[in-house]
């Protein structure tokens, strides 16, 4: 059982993390200051450290965290350390990542991401015994992807080749298909694997704050800018920046992004000084960027800068061979699927893709009456469980049902309208003739 050391001066945070980690099978040690942390590492087996950046009330510089990090590495240079940081200490955290910190999370952290990092690095730590295995610690093997389909085999092979090339990659696919996971795999397999990997969900950012988030801002640059802040490009210098839902970027933001991709240069909002960074950009979208270019909502020159190589993640419905292996992975080794359940899962349309399948598996574990899961445990909509159809035939049937109304058809299929238009074009479906 991996043993995790959590270091924070806040007892509530120590208690919360100890509970979270212990519920997921980890042995947890806690320390409230640098002295306690060093004693723990000196006298006990520690497979991974999760440390805050400050250990004194009212201090936000991150100097305490840097001091502890240096001392821990002096004791054990191979010890994985995850930093928990606020924006005010982000620059310090990035510098520590470049100095050998394993990873970092921003406050408030996401429990799922934290557990993913802990599982990944604590497992690697117990295997690794010397610095020569450092690459194995950080790299994510293709085995982390659960698949049997030929489509995914081809995609992973392509991603592995792309990872080693210092070119921008556009990842396309429907919501929930796993675009962020693929981006993470590309980064971990790339020469930048030991540098920062910064993720930005463009769809979650208010339009008026996008540029500040990406490029940073000086104090007073806009209402509410009470202090200077670095942007995501600065944070990712030397590493990889993942821009999810890139189609949501404003036209003014697109212009600045194009300049960074061309020259590596930009200015913070409200500043005159030009900054230069070395960043590899991975972007993702479920939108049809070619259509957006035609409609004038996305710059053509930026599209070609981002799309040096395009990787498309197929919908789960198009790689049915992956459904049962994924479901078995999500439910764990203590449960299994009956033959009837496997058939029902395979025939379900999965409009929410892998994300929907994962949620369905969690729901099934709650309602299960035995360790062999039945179809009823998953509570799938019976209207969507039907004999597997050819995708073109399925789209045509739903189009006919809704008299060719794209909005209603896309809603039933679980697709965006842009994604439906792409499939209509791909399969050369004549909507007018059908309806």
Q: Is the pLDDT of residue 247 over 70?
A: yes
Give me the domain span that covers residue 287: 150-312
| Same domain, yes or no: 170 and 306 | yes
- Judged by phi (left if over 0) then psi (alpha if -120 to 50, else beta), residue 296 lies in left
Q: Is residue 167 part of a domain?
A: yes
The answer to whether residues 167 and 198 belong to one domain is yes
Q: Are residues 218 and 117 in the same domain?
A: no
Please indicate, yes or no, whether residues 43 and 85 belong to a single structural domain of this protein: yes
Phi and psi angles of residue 171, each rounded to the nearest 5 degrees, phi first:
-105, 120
pLDDT, average across residues 341-357? 91
Asked whether residue 239 is assigned to any structural domain, the reply reads: yes
**Nearest Cα residue to 105 out of 82, 122, 123, 130:** 82
Let me know whether 173 and 44 are in one domain: no
Q: Which of 52-61, 202-211, 267-276, 327-336 has the highest mean pLDDT?
A: 327-336
Cα 252 from chain centroid? 26
CATH for 325:
1.10.8.60
Please give the pLDDT value at position 381: 64
The percent of residues in the chain predicted with pLDDT above 70, rounded, is 87
- Any domain includes 435: no
Which pLDDT tens digit goes with each residue over 21-44?
Answer: 988 888 899 988 888 888 888 777
Segment 80-97 shows an average pLDDT of 76
Average pLDDT score, the chain? 83
> What number is the average pLDDT over the span 217-223?
69
Q: Which residues pair with 198 in a beta bridge?
A: 241
Give the model confidence (pLDDT) of 148-198 as tens digits. Answer: 899 999 999 999 999 988 899 999 999 889 999 999 999 989 988 888 888
Whole-Å CA distances, 146 to 324, 328, 372: 10, 10, 21
> What pTM value is reported for the model?
0.58
Cβ atoms within 10 Å, residue 17: 23
Q: Does residue 110 have a pLDDT over 90?
A: no
Q: How far apart are CA 404 and CA 430, in angstroms?
A: 10
CATH number reported for the structural domain that contains residue 159 in this entry: 3.40.50.300
300 and 414 assigned to the same domain = no
pLDDT at 141: 46
Same domain assignment for residues 96 and 218? no
Q: How far is CA 203 from CA 103, 155, 180, 229, 287, in A?
A: 24, 25, 14, 21, 12
Assign 3-class secondary structure to 321-389.
Answer: HHHHHHHHHHHCCCCEECHHHHHHHHHECCCCHHHHHHHHHHHHHHHCCCCEECHHHHCCCHHHECCCC
In a domain, 384, yes or no: no
Per-residue pLDDT of 420-430, as tens digits, reads 887 888 788 88
Q: For position 144, what pLDDT does the model report? A: 63
- Based on the fold, state whether residues 158 and 293 are members of the same structural domain: yes
Q: Which of 269, 296, 312 is the last residue of a domain?
A: 312
Q: Check residues 222 and 200 and name the one with the higher pLDDT.
A: 200
> Residue 386 domain-assigned?
no
Instruction: For residue 412, give the CATH number of its domain.
Output: 1.10.10
Residues 266 and 342 in one domain: no
Mark 194-223 as b/e (b = at least 16 C-beta within 10 Å). Answer: bbbbbbbebeebeeeebbbbbbbbbeebee
Q: Is the pLDDT of residue 353 over 50?
A: yes
Burial letters 259-275, b for 16+ CB under 10 A, else e: ebbeeeebebbebeeeb
* Residue 248, Cβ density class (10 Å: 0-12 exposed, 13-18 middle, ≥19 buried): middle
pLDDT of amino acid 382:
45
171 with 234, same domain?
yes
Q: What one-character-per-residue DSSP string does 80-141 give? A: -EEEEE-GGGHHHHHHHHHTT--EEEESSPPHHHHHHHHHHHHHHHHH--SGGGHHHHH---
Average pLDDT over residues 261-279: 87
CA distance 35 to 68: 9
Domain edge (last residue) among 289, 312, 335? 312
**Domain contains 385:** no
Point out the least confidently predicted range of 130-139, 262-271, 357-366.
130-139
In a domain, 137, yes or no: no
Q: Which two tokens stand for residue 226?
A: 């009470």
- Looking at the fold, whether 100 and 198 belong to one and the same domain comes out as no
Residue identified by tokens 């710059």 is 299
Q: Are residues 331 and 286 part of one domain?
A: no
The answer to whether position 434 is within a domain reads: no
For residue 208, the model assigns a pLDDT of 72
Higher pLDDT, 389 or 293: 293
The helix (H) or strand (E) run that includes residue 222 is none
Domain end point (choices 262, 277, 312): 312
The CATH number that applies at residue 63 is 3.40.50.2300
Question: What confidence tier does 387 reach under pLDDT thresholds 50, 70, 90?
Answer: very low
At residue 135, the pLDDT reads 39
How many domains does the chain divide into?
4
């Amino acid at each position: 059982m991996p043993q995790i050391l959590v270091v924070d001066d806040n007892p509530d945070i120590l208690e919360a993390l100890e509970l979270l980690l212990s519920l997921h099978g980890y042995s947890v040690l806690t320390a409230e200051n640098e002295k306690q942390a060093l004693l723990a590492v000196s006298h006990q087996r520690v497979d991974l450290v999760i440390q805050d950046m400050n250990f004194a009330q009212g201090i936000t510089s991150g100097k305490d965290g840097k001091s502890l990090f240096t001392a821990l590495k002096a004791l054990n240079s191979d010890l994985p350390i995850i930093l928990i940081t606020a924006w005010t200490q982000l620059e310090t955290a990035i510098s520590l990542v470049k100095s050998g910190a394993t990873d970092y999370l921003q406050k408030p952290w996401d429990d799922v991401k934290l557990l993913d990092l802990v599982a990944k690095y604590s497992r690697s730590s117990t295997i690794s015994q010397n610095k020569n295995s450092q690459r194995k610690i950080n790299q994510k093997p293709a085995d982390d992807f659960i698949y049997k389909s030929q489509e995914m085999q081809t995609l992973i092979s392509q991603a592995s080749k792309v990872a080693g090339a210092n070119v921008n990659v556009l990842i396309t696919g429907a919501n929930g298909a796993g675009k962020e996971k693929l981006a993470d795999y590309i980064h971990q397999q790339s020469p930048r694997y030991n540098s920062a990997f910064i993720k930005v969900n463009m769809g979650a950012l208010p339009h008026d704050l996008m540029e500040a988030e990406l490029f940073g801002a000086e104090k007073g640059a806009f209402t509410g800018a009470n202090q200077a802040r670095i942007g995501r490009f600065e944070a990712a210098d030397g590493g990889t920046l993942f821009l999810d839902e890139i189609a949501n970027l404003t036209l003014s933001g697109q212009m600045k992004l194009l300049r960074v991709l061309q020259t590596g240069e930009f200015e913070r909002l409200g500043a005159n000084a030009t900054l230069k960074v070395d960043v590899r950009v991975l972007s993702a979208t479920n939108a049809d960027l070619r259509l957006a270019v035609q409609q004038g909502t996305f710059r053509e020159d930026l599209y070609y800068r981002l799309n040096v190589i395009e990787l498309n993640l197929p919908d789960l419905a198009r790689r049915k061979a992956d459904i049962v292996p994924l479901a078995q992975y999500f439910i764990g080794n203590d449960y299994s699927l009956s033959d009837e359940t496997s058939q029902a899962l395979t025939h379900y349309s999965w409009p929410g893709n892998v994300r929907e399948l994962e949620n369905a598996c969690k729901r099934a574990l709650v309602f299960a009456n035995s360790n062999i899961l039945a179809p009823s445990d998953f509570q799938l909509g019976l209207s969507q469980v039907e004999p597997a159809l050819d995708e073109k035939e399925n789209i045509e049937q739903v189009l006919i049902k809704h008299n060719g109304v794209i909005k209603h058809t896309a809603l039933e299929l679980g697709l965006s309208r842009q994604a439906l238009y792409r499939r209509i074009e791909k399969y050369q479906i004549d909507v007018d003739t059908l309806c």
